[in-house]
Amino acid sequence: MDDLGPELRLPLGMIPELKWLKTMIMERALTRGEVLMAGGKRSDYYIDKFRLFSDPTALRRIARMFAPIVSELSPDLIAGTELGGVIIATAVSQMTNIPMIVVRKKPKAYGAFADEFVEGPYEPGQKVLLLEDVVSNGREVLVAKARLEELKLRVTVYAVVNRGLAPIKSLIQFSLPRGDAKTEN
């Protein structure tokens, strides 16, 4: 096992689902043109996960794609990173009936648990499947992973989409050659 979790192999039956996801990204979520990414780098395309996740049917279908991963890992908790990771984690939690927690980017400044990054109950030693939506450089999800590990949780990270720039496992690796014809979405 590496520090990101065990190497998992998706079943061959997932191939049509992965093709569907790539098509959905191309048709609904892809915008071409110069954009500033969360990590500060520029890219000539952007994947807007909300164009996927806002459709309840598409969100459920994406969540079901995590079933083999959940089955193999048997996590005690599903975790999501703020904001897009929370959406997919909620759907996977609902589908699997596994409780979920949320990892904030910044600690909440109010309430009974002020100054904490993690929302929801957990116990040290629990196995956590930490979900992210779209990963570019992986910086934020790896920070979230480290925060959970500081709480003595055993964490495996998985994303819906990895743009191919981060050492994060994902349902789909997605990248486009630079400089293709620009399209509007």
Measured in degrees and rounded to the nearest 5, phi and psi for residue 81 equal -90, 145
Report whether pLDDT(170) > 60. Answer: yes
Whether residue 122 contacts residue 151, with contact meaning beta carbons closer than 8 Å, is answered with: yes
Alpha helices in 25-77, H assignment, sequence order = 50-53, 56-64, 67-73
pLDDT of residue 8: 52
Span of 9-13, 22-26, 40-44 with lowest mean pLDDT: 9-13
The kind and range of the H/E element at 132 are strand 127-135
pLDDT digits (tens, 9 = 90+) for 61-111: 999 999 999 999 999 999 999 888 999 999 999 999 999 999 998 887 777
The average pLDDT across 133-158 equals: 94
Residue of 110, 93, 113 lying closest to 101 (CA atoms): 93
**Residues 12-173, CATH architecture:** 3-Layer(aba) Sandwich (3.40)
Q: Is the dihedral of CA 86, 16, 32, 169 positive or negative?
A: positive
What pTM was estimated for this model as a whole? 0.86
